[in-house]
């Protein structure tokens, strides 16, 4: 058999197959974002909110109203408004926020680091505690520890975050004085902090002022813990489910018959086999923390993405609302794409299916 025949029988080159998957993922990302942009645009036009009144107020004259109506392009056909909106998105222009009179992209770049810092610390807490808790719950199924973790998870799902935030402020801030209050930093340190990365925990550490670092940490720890509790509950539940499935497989039974310890089977083999789905759960949990911090940021007066979105909704600022919605959708879609690529890269079964 010739070399050419062997090459044809082997199928396409691995790099070509990988390139096709990447291009397919990018096309899927583009179509999803286009659909999301269309959905947010038309929902914004259907809401009973007059963007002109939101921009100039109720007491403006008819002449001023008509001028703003024309300036916003609302006198154009709907398809023309949507095409103009897509043209602006193609140039990364999300419009002007009516509440701040600044470009929406500029506002998001200003507030998003605060939410990113909060969600990242919460995710670290959720992952650091949730994965060991899920593994131990599966190892000692139906034990007191398993029941405790499941109860904590149920309590986290059923308890509103804003109530936990208020109770936490009442107990740990107002009564015990163990933590800082609302906001990211006390007023006395606000003008001493020089933002470099946008993550004030890192910026305060880089400044070398340990008192400032402790103050920033004291403001961050309670809202991050409340968000991290929900992340811990979901991650531990999913990891427990993954581990129970693996522990019932024949390779675990075979390893036990050969004399391998229970702990070695769990931590050395079963945990390795659930690494890819666990990575997906962690990534999606982090994305949910980014968009789910609205109530937490409102309670703690946290100047982040969620609070900015809340103020935009209350003011009827649809440019800001649509910009925030698009960013949230982009994060979810991009993380799903990355997780799918990692799943195909590290899971041998998917490589065999695509061969």
CA 185, 186, 189, 195: dihedral to nearest 10 degrees? 20
Q: Is residue 195 part of a domain?
A: yes
Judge if 242 and 337 occupy the same domain: yes
**Each residue of 317-354: pLDDT tens digit?**
778 888 888 888 888 877 877 777 777 766 655 554 55
Residue 34 lies in a domain: no
CATH, residue 151? 1.10.3720.10
- Work out the mean pLDDT of the chain and round it to a whole number: 80
Per-residue pLDDT band at 2 (split at 50, 70, 90): very low
pTM (two decimals)? 0.79
Please say which residue of 65, 91, 117 terminates a domain.
91
Nearest to 138 by CA among 154, 124, 149: 149
Token duo for residue 281: 């759960």
**Does residue 134 fall inside a structural domain?**
yes
The residue with greater pLDDT, 58 or 201, is 201
End-to-end CA separation in angstroms for the chain? 21
Q: Determine the 3-state secondary structure of 96 from DSSP.
A: strand
Domain boundary among 40, 65, 91: 91
Cα 165 to Cα 229: distance, rounded to the nearest angstrom: 12
Check whether residue 53 and residue 185 sit in a common domain: no
Looking at residue 8, its pLDDT comes to: 46
222, 300 Cβ separation under 8 angstroms:
yes
**Would you tell me the crossing angle of helices 104-139 and 144-158 to the nearest 10 degrees?**
160
Q: Is residue 165 part of a domain?
A: yes
Residue from 126, 26, 92 nearest 326 by CA? 92
The answer to whether 290 and 328 are in contact (CB under 8 A) is: yes
Give the tokens for residue 327. 């960013």
Q: Which of 27, 61, 91 is the last residue of a domain?
A: 91
Same domain, 323 and 204: yes
> Among positive and negative, which fits the CA dihedral 177, 180, 182, 186?
positive
Q: Which residue has the higher pLDDT, 127 or 51?
A: 127
Q: What is the pLDDT of residue 281?
A: 85
Residues 80 and 140 in one domain: no
Q: Would you say residue 127 lies in a domain?
A: yes
- What pLDDT is attached to residue 18? 62
104 within 8 A of 319, measured Cβ to Cβ = yes
Continuous segment of H or E residues that includes residue 72? none
Residue 58 has pLDDT above 80, yes or no: no
Instruction: Examine the pLDDT at 26 and tell me if it is beyond 80.
Output: no
| Pair 69, 188 in one domain | no
- The answer to whether residues 59 and 152 belong to one domain is no
> Of the given ranges (68-77, 155-164, 210-219, 346-355), which has the lowest mean pLDDT?
346-355
Domain for residue 234, yes or no? yes
Three-state DSSP at 253 gives helix
309 and 324 Cβ atoms separated by less than 8 Å? yes
Whether residues 85 and 164 share a domain: the answer is no
The answer to whether 307 and 117 have CB atoms below 8 angstroms apart is no
User: pLDDT digits over 230-267, tens only?
Assistant: 888 888 888 888 888 888 878 877 877 777 777 787 88
Query: Domain range for residue 77?
Result: 49-91
Tell me, yes or no, whether 293 and 192 share the same domain. Answer: yes
Query: Which contiguous run of DSSP H or E holds residue 56?
Result: helix 51-56
Residues 165, 223 contacting (CB under 8 angstroms): yes
Phi, psi of 9 (to 5 degrees): -70, -30
299 — phi, psi (to 5°)? -65, -40
Question: Residue 103: beta bridge partners?
Answer: 96
Burial class (CB in 10 A: 0-12, 13-18, 19+), 35: exposed
- In this structure, are 87 and 178 located in the same domain? no
Same domain, 173 and 232: yes
Tens-place pLDDT, residues 169-208? 888 888 888 888 888 888 888 777 887 888 888 888 888 8
Assess contact for 133 and 149: CB atoms under 8 A: yes
pLDDT above 90 covers what percent of the chain?
0
On whether residue 219 sits in a domain, the answer given is yes
Q: What is the mean pLDDT of residues 303-311?
A: 85
Length of the chain: 355
Q: Are residues 122 and 55 in the same domain?
A: no
Name the DSSP class of 261: -
Residue 16 has pLDDT above 80, yes or no: no
Question: 252 with 142, same domain?
Answer: yes
Domain contains 98: no
Q: Considering its fold, how many domains does the chain have in total?
A: 2
pLDDT higher than 80, residue 44: no
Mean pLDDT of 134-140: 87
Q: Which residue has the tokens 């419009």?
A: 95
């Amino acid at each position: 058999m010739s070399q050419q025949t062997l090459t044809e029988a082997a199928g396409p080159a691995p790099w070509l197959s990988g390139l096709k998957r990447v291009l397919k993922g990018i096309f899927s990302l583009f179509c999803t974002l286009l659909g999301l942009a269309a959905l947010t645009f038309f929902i914004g036009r259907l809401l009973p909110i007059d963007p002109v009144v939101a921009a100039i107020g109720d007491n403006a004259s008819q002449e001023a109203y008509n001028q703003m109506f024309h300036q916003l392009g609302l006198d154009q056909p709907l398809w023309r408004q949507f095409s103009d909106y897509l043209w602006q998105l193609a140039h990364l222009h999300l419009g002007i926020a009516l509440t701040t009179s600044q470009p929406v992209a500029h506002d998001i770049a200003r507030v998003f680091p605060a939410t990113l810092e909060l969600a990242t610390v919460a995710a670290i807490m959720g992952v650091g505690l949730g994965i060991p808790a899920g593994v131990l719950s599966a190892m000692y199924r139906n034990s007191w520890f398993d029941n405790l973790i499941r109860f904590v998870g149920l309590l986290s799902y059923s308890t509103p975050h804003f109530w936990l935030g208020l109770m936490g402020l009442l107990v740990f801030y107002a009564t015990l004085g163990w933590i800082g209050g609302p906001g990211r930093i006390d007023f006395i340190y606000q003008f001493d902090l020089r933002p470099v990365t946008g993550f004030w925990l890192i910026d305060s550490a880089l400044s070398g002022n340990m008192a400032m670092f402790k103050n920033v940490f004291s403001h961050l720890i309670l809202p991050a813990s409340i968000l991290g509790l929900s992340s811990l509950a979901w991650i531990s539940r999913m990891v427990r489910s993954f581990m129970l499935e693996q522990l019932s497989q024949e390779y675990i039974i075979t390893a036990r018959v050969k004399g391998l310890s229970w702990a070695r089977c769990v931590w050395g083999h079963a945990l390795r086999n659930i690494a890819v789905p666990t990575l997906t759960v962690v990534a999606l949990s982090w994305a949910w923390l980014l968009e789910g911090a609205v109530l937490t940021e409102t309670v703690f007066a946290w100047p982040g993405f969620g609070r900015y979105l809340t103020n935009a909704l209350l003011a009827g600022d649809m440019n800001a609302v649509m910009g925030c919605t698009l960013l949230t959708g982009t994060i979810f879609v991009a993380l799903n794409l990355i997780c799918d690529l990692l799943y195909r890269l590290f899971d041998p079964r998917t490589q065999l299916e695509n061969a």
